[in-house]
Amino acid sequence: MKNFKSLFLFDRKQQRGIFVLIILLLIVLAGFFYSQQLPKKVLVIEDSSVYQHKVDSLVAVQQSRRDTIYPFNPNYITDYRGYKLGLSVEEIDRLHRYRESGKWVNSKKDFQQVTQVSGQWLDSIAPYFKFPDWVTNSDKKNNKSFVPFKDRKIVIKDINGATQEELKKVYGIGPALSGRIIKERERLKSFIDISQVGDIYGLTDSTMIQLKKHFFVSAPLAFHKIALNTATEEELLSIPYFDDYLVEKLVEQRILRDGFKSWDKVMLTSRFPQEKLALIQLYLTLN
């Protein structure tokens, strides 16, 4: 019993603290009950037409964005794009098979013959078809000096002597890509294999096929492979895919290994560009 009574024994400071706490609790409770007795304010909108007009405007803008179709080349319709446009799976497959055969759709009529879409669908979507200028520009069609890519005469030439204008005659090569080819040729001082051209950024496999029909690579007469195990640092630095750091590490590894016996050992060298191995082997030999 004594222990129980001791729980309620407080000094004067503690008693004053408890009293203040009780007063604060009473004030909070009184405020709460008072707020509950206050009349509720009812929101009354006398004229909602202004707000409704704004809501309708936002809905109309969103709807127009959803339904907007931008001009596109129908030759590049993907599965998802075809689904969004309302094409069936069979119609999309017909288009893809036609394109995989190397042929192009060049008109609204061609598209319908290939895909067998309904006339109603075609009338609603065809206005958004956008074909290349040489297809749609009647002046070019009637101009005897204009010859489509597929009808141009193929002239085979060493790409090391090709001009930018000659490169642009290849289907798929424009000003930017032809400029990169020229720049890479200057960096390498000349191509020694056609695979070096294929390594250029932006050159797709299909474009590379077309390029090989027009150009070949003939290595310079003075070119010869360098023997990695006996080459000097200056000779190794002449290889366009090497820098000072890599040459230094190659020489170190060559000494430690008493010569490289395989390319697997060469690729263990610090910072060796393994993705460029096939191109590096155009310049180097282990023998």
| Residue labelled with tokens 């797709």 | 204
Kind of pairing, strands 226-227 and 157-158?
unpaired
Per the domain annotation, does 205 fall within a domain?
Answer: yes
| Domain finish residue from 114, 141, 168 | 141
* One domain, residues 84 and 103: yes
* One domain, residues 120 and 84: yes
Tell me the residue range of the domain where 100 lies.
Answer: 74-141
* One domain, residues 93 and 129: yes
Per the domain annotation, does 55 fall within a domain?
Answer: no
Half-sphere exposure of 273 (CA within 13 A, CB side): 15
| Domain finish residue from 109, 141, 173 | 141
CATH of the domain at 255: 1.10.150
If we measure between CA atoms, which residue out of 140, 79, 70, 144 comes closest to residue 106?
A: 140
| Domain finish residue from 89, 117, 141 | 141
What is the torsional sign of CA 97, 100, 103, 106? positive
Q: Read off the pLDDT of residues 134-180 as tens digits, 9 standing for 90 and up.
A: 666 654 445 555 555 555 555 689 999 999 999 998 888 889 999 99
Q: Read off the pLDDT of residues 221-257 as tens digits, 9 standing for 90 and up.
A: 889 999 999 999 999 999 999 999 999 999 999 999 9
* One domain, residues 161 and 125: no
Q: What pLDDT, on a 0 to 100 scale, did the predictor assign at position 57?
A: 74
Query: Domain count of the chain?
Result: 3
Query: What is residue 157's three-state secondary structure?
Result: strand
Give the burial class of 36: count Cβ atoms within 10 A of its Cβ; 0-12 exposed, 13-18 middle, 19 or more buried: exposed
Q: What percent of the chain has pLDDT over 90?
A: 38
